[in-house]
Amino acid sequence: MANPNVQIRFAQKEDLQAIRQLVVELAIYEKEPDAVKAQFADYQRAYEDGLISMLVAEIEDDIVGMTLFYDTFSTWRGKMLYLEDFVVSEKYRSQNIGSQLFDATLQVAKDRNCTMMKWQVLDWNTGATKFYENKGATIEKQWWNGKIIF
- Residues with catalytic roles: 132
Contact 43, 20 (CB under 8 A): yes
**Any bridge partners for residue 54, and if so which?**
68
Q: Which of 24, 124, 117 is nearest to 78 (CA)?
A: 117
What is the dihedral angle through the alpha carbons of 99, 66, 34, 130, rounded to the nearest 10 degrees? Answer: 10
Contact 130, 97 (CB under 8 A): no
Angstrom distance (rounded) from CA 119 to CA 126 = 15
Strand ordering across the sheet containing 116-118: 7-10, 53-59, 62-74, 78-88, 116-118
